[in-house]
Amino acid sequence: AVINSPTSTTISGAPDAIRQLVDHYKAQDVDARLIPVDYASHSPHVDTLRDTILRDLADITPTPANTPFYSTVTGQKFNTTGLTAEYWHTNLRNTVQFATTLTNLHDDPTTYIEISPHPILTPAIQHTHPDAQVVATLHRNQPPHTHFLNNTAQLPTTDYTPLYTPHNPHTTPLPTYPFQHRTHWLDAPRSKGDPSVIGQEGAEHALLGAVVQVPSTGTTLFTSQISLSTHPWLADHAVHGHVLLPGTALIDLALHAGGRTGAPDIEELTLEAPLHLPEPGAVDLQVTVDPPDESDRRALSIHSRPTGDPDTTAWTRHATGTLTPHLAAKDFRQLPWPPPGASQFSASEMYERLDERGYRYGPAFQGVTQAWQDGDDHYAEIVLPDGMEPTGYGVHPALLDAALHPIAFAALPVDGSQGETYMPFSFSGISLGATGATRLRVHIHDLGEHRVAVTAFDSAGRPVVTIESLTLRPSKPFSPAGVTGSKHLFELRWTTPTSHASPLQEASAAPSSWVVLGEGWPGLNVRGAADLSALRREVTDDTAAPRTVLAMPASHRADTDIATAAHETSFQMLHLLQDWLADDLFATDRLVVVTRGAVAALPDEDITDLTQSAVWGLVRTAQIEHPDRITLLDLDHDSSSASLAQALATREPQLAVRKGRVLVPRMARVTVQPSDDEPDLLDPHGTVLITGGTGSLGAHMARHLVTRYGARHLLLVSRSGAEAAGASRLEAELAALGAEVVVRACDTADADDLASTLDSVPDEHPLTAVVHAAGALDIAPLASLRSDQLSSVLRPKIDAACHLDRLTESVELKSFILFSSLAGSIGIAGQTNYAAANSFLDALAHHRRSRGRPATSLAWGLWEEDSDLRRQINDSAVERMTRLGFVPLPAAHSLDLFDAAMKTRRTVVVPAHIDGAALRPQADAGTLPAVLRGLTGPSVRRASADSSSGHSSESPNGLAERLLQQNETERQETLLGLVRGTTAAVLNHADSESIGTDQPFKDLGIDSLTAVQLRNRLSSATGLSLPATLVFDRPSPGALTEYLRSRLVPADDGRSGRTLTEVVDKLESALDSLDLDDEQWTGVTVRLENLLRRSRDRGHPPAVGGLPGELASATDEELFEALDNELESTDLD
């Protein structure tokens, strides 16, 4: 196919023949490998394309070239007028004479420039003409612009100016600090109290607590905390069932903040998001006023966040504006009152109409007593209801809000239809003329284009509040999605890891310490083993044990459908993980599961291997149940062994490499503004298919799509169909809401059954939306999970989704919504199968989006709702998940999150209640999954071992050191206390008094999942690698204590342990002082590992400090002599 150089040839042909040829040459130690393409160019296989090529290129017109052109078809100089369609067919069909062309070309030029995304031809040129200069334009692992300029600089200089045109380059200094794009707001006080006690001033406003001057910036910050308990009258301001802080309260806050900072008038104020007041609960409120500009104007912003989780809850911005020291003075004329000639209308009728449209004003806000209209002018008389005090406000928000009610009433459709409703959006020219008003006379003048001017007078005709312009805009029924979304909507974001590897870690990640299971990978020259059994046989005292074992799950084969391949790959990985984790021989080694194109680590990235995507969910759960044993790594097709080693050196549990860049996943909050456009989810005239439609979640979604999005034709399918419990009641309920409903029995995992169901959709109401909510759950720890349990959970998720994807290829869908699970994104103990199924759904959504097809995957946290899935999780498991930070979601809140998630237009969104306060202790103890680290805020200092709280975050080394200083009785008490305390913690007991020394763990309530938690916590506390069967092999706290003692303390008086600790200290100091290259570090690392391996293989547990127990009694001189013998080949001198 290609004659590249004197040392390189490319051959093409039939796949089987090529594979045989590669095997033949490999057997003769000739470097031979397959190129991953699915076509054989430059061979007779191209002949079938000849007519197509000639037809498609028939219209091209070759022209003469000024630069000499050499053809790799002929190997000679070529006239470019001959570059016809026939030439290009020959170019694709015949052998590429690259080496011949280079030979003929080299008579004159001596410099070659390869213009390509990555140097492919450069090696062939260098092999053919070693004396030639070869420059490549780009390199996939280098910054494109920088690499191009550096290489261009190697060529003869003519003129650099064209490189910068049309820019005028200049040198810009780098930032002195790596900005982290984090906002660190000051916490609002929980009660007003006396702000001066904490160095602040009182804000002197009923909705504010304190004011802080920030000297470094000149910013003024007003803080507070408000709730329905502190301000109960706010409960009377509700929109569509949600209590909102009235926009007039934001106006009064802005006026007060301006008055305190010398800019008392509001030049403009824009409302960006409603401020939802929870019940129960509270919100932290902040009003920020910036320093004055050259015109003495000040920028203002108002933010809030739910109280109680300051480190992990995002702030929502509700308003921005500009404050000014003075607005232009206006003349006011006295208005005759009541206005002559105006038509009076009923205030009670106005509130009834507003109530019908979802604007529920309680007594505190029903301040309009009389109202009139005269053409483009409205008038109203407003009274602050009894019991409401104006003290502490410029103008009471309830009074001013009532002044705007005639505007809302006038904007309602005259015919009573459900047309657009207009709400205040922006204000300009607001000034406060007087404070303390309890009555207002209001004049509202229509300025056109949905703008009005508002003037409020007191009974003497003096202006109290003036608003030069208030702009209204259409508003759909409000959902607090923006507020809840910012707290309970998440996504996985791939970012550069912040941890840096030490030289020892980098050495341990070097390929010299790797073993690859299976056939091996092209370009990775490391030791291989056919499988884990073969590796087990190879590991002997005389064979270097691997630090890292690489395994790549099977990729999708063209002759297998995706769902079947996903099952097979998941089974393969399940068995590998079970074998790996059950074998103590590999207890200190790391299994690296390597996939290619199984996750979307870059924006809008395609998933190129869906079958491997299920492995990510499966392995994520294995990592939760068995921390520090497995690494998950996804490579792109350009990744090298160097980038793989760089990734492994980070010690991160989950990674991806993209174009040489190492990325790690972190859960991050997604902010949604209610002003975002509503998603176009469905066509009311089309049919919506909901799988699992008769289940609890499916039923909730059916109701929501009808009431919120106007769905009128539903096809609800489940395995039981109309025979499902509650199906007939649901059908009747939806029909009463105006929807036509068909309930049908269908096994969506059966392609033929699903196809028949889709064929039943009537042509007059074609399928326009799909919601895949079906699923199954079968909880079991990884170690005991059976293949049938895996299959039964994969089938309704993966198989059904694949069939839906394929069978709707030709259908014009508006929505394709997959109900996934948080388990697939982070891993949840006991849900290995469920996590695998749902990570596949997330990947399928990315795959569809990359092909221009609609798809959204919602990775739900646990619903509070009683459902088939929820019933499979017992109460103790729910309590355990809640303690870990995963709080069940009420159904109504979940539906709000659905709305918010769909507004984001993101491919995969995680709607879940993740409690940051519950995550913090795990972060401090080092047990928090890495993917959740971004939700805990900055870490706190560890508690002292003598802390009065009784909780110590003592490190494993500290525990071991303390044990060495104790006598046998004290050691027993220390370790028994650790075991009992940890047991009480995983069982959520208030203390450890109820944990008996000889009481069986089974009787205490330890099940298979809490046993995993107990083992993991004890592993973290002791630094030991503990077996998966720990609790079952040592079935009581007493037995487990004795086992830990045998592992942690040498069987002597501890003196040798102290000697060994001193030697370890000396060794650490020596290693820190050495200046070694990568090869030497690798030698040191591997030989130290061999010491540990040989000790363990002889049945001796590692002693304190991590060195072999057999060395515990050695003297300093003997230890260093042994170490010198081990390291002599590294030439440390």
The CATH number covering residue 1017 comes to 1.10.1200.10
Q: Which of 852, 880, 914 is the last residue of a domain?
A: 914
113, 17: one domain:
yes
The count of structural domains within the chain is 6
The CATH number covering residue 703 comes to 3.40.50.720
CA distance to 972, 973, 992, 1038, 1048, per residue, from 1043 (Å): 11, 14, 20, 9, 9
Q: Which residues, 6 or more positions from 313, have their beta carbon under 8 angstroms from its beta carbon?
A: 305, 306, 486, 487, 669, 916
Q: Is residue 854 part of a domain?
A: yes
Predicted pLDDT at 1128 = 44
Q: Is residue 365 part of a domain?
A: yes
Neighbour-count burial for 839-867, b at 16+ CB within 10 Å, e otherwise: bbbbbbbbbbbbeeebbbbbbbbbbbbeb
308, 445: one domain:
no
Which residues form the domain of 857?
Answer: 687-914
699, 639: one domain:
no
pLDDT at 1119 over 60: no
Q: Is residue 1111 part of a domain?
A: no
The CATH number covering residue 423 comes to 3.10.129.120
For the segment 461-476, what is each residue's pLDDT rounded down to a tens digit?
A: 889 999 999 998 876 5
Name the least confident of 74-83, 186-195, 551-560, 733-742. 186-195
Q: Is residue 975 part of a domain?
A: yes
Per annotation, catalytic residue among 42, 89, 205, 237: 237
In which band, very low, low, confident or very high, does the pLDDT at 764 lie, cut at 50, 70 and 90?
A: very high
Query: What integer is the mean pLDDT of 707-727?
Result: 93
**Closest residue by Cα to residue 1004 from 975, 976, 1036:** 1036
Backbone angles phi and psi of 754, in degrees to 5: -65, -40
Q: Which of 1014, 1032, 1048 is the last residue of a domain?
A: 1048
Beta carbons of 631 and 590 less than 8 angstroms apart: yes
Tokens encoding 216: 């470094």
Predicted pLDDT at 148 = 83
Query: What integer is the mean pLDDT of 51-63?
Result: 93
Bridge partners, 618 (sequence order): none
Query: What integer is the mean pLDDT of 674-689?
Result: 82
What is the rounded distance in angstroms from the CA atom of residue 424 to the CA atom of residue 128?
A: 75
HEC profile for 243-259? EEECHHHHHHHHHHHHH
Predicted pLDDT at 392 = 92
Backbone angles phi and psi of 882, in degrees to 5: -65, -40
Q: Return the percentage of the chain with pLDDT > 70, whole number.
A: 81
For the segment 117-135, what is each residue's pLDDT rounded down to a tens digit?
A: 888 888 888 888 887 888 9
Query: What integer is the mean pLDDT of 908-916?
Result: 91
Predicted pLDDT at 948 = 32
537, 651: one domain:
yes
pLDDT at 872 over 90: no
CA distance to 201, 210, 256, 267, per residue, from 323 (Å): 21, 20, 11, 6
For the segment 987-1014, what is each residue's pLDDT rounded down to a tens digit?
A: 877 777 778 888 888 888 888 778 888 8
Between 956-964 and 1037-1048, two packed helices, what is the crossing angle to 10 degrees?
Answer: 80
What is the rounded distance in angstroms from the CA atom of residue 650 to the CA atom of residue 499?
A: 6
129 is an active site residue: no
Average pLDDT, the chain: 83
**Closest residue by Cα to residue 619 from 397, 462, 831:** 831
Higher-confidence position of 892 and 107: 892
Q: Which residues, 6 or more positions from 343, have their beta carbon under 8 angstroms from its beta carbon?
A: 372, 373, 374
Q: What is the pTM of this model?
A: 0.60
Largest CA distance in the chain: 111
The CATH number covering residue 301 comes to 3.10.129.110
pLDDT at 559 over 60: yes
pLDDT at 402 over 70: yes
According to DSSP, the β-strands at 630-635 and 590-596 are parallel
Per annotation, catalytic residue among 265, 401, 636, 899: 401
In which band, very low, low, confident or very high, does the pLDDT at 1098 lie, cut at 50, 70 and 90?
A: very low
Q: Which residues, 6 or more positions from 175, have their beta carbon under 8 angstroms from its beta carbon?
A: none
Q: Is residue 954 part of a domain?
A: no
What is the rounded distance in angstroms from the CA atom of residue 467 to the CA atom of residue 462?
A: 15
pLDDT at 108 over 50: yes
Predicted pLDDT at 1106 = 40
549, 602: one domain:
yes
685 is an active site residue: no
126, 13: one domain:
yes
Higher-confidence position of 953 and 741: 741
Q: Is residue 244 part of a domain?
A: yes
727, 857: one domain:
yes
Bridge partners, 635 (sequence order): 596, 657
547, 458: one domain:
no
Name the least confident of 387-391, 656-660, 1101-1105. 1101-1105
pLDDT at 346 over 50: yes
SS3 of residue 1029 by DSSP: coil
319, 347: one domain:
no
9, 152: one domain:
yes
Higher-confidence position of 961 and 928: 928
DSSP element (H, E) containing 886:
strand 886-887
Q: Is residue 187 part of a domain?
A: no
CA distance to 45, 46, 212, 395, 617, per residue, from 205 (Å): 83, 81, 14, 11, 52
pLDDT at 31 over 80: yes
For the segment 799-842, what is each residue's pLDDT rounded down to a tens digit?
A: 999 999 999 999 999 999 999 999 999 999 999 999 999 999 99
Name the least confident of 99-113, 988-1002, 1048-1062. 1048-1062
For the segment 1007-1048, what is each residue's pLDDT rounded down to a tens digit?
A: 877 888 888 888 888 888 888 778 888 889 999 999 998 888
In which band, very low, low, confident or very high, does the pLDDT at 537 lie, cut at 50, 70 and 90?
A: confident
Q: Is residue 337 part of a domain?
A: no
First to last CA, the chain: 53
Predicted pLDDT at 105 = 82
For the segment 231-278, what is each residue's pLDDT rounded down to a tens digit?
A: 989 999 988 778 899 999 999 999 999 999 999 999 999 998 889 888
530, 660: one domain:
yes
Q: Which of 445, 475, 505 is the last residue of a domain?
A: 475
698, 819: one domain:
yes
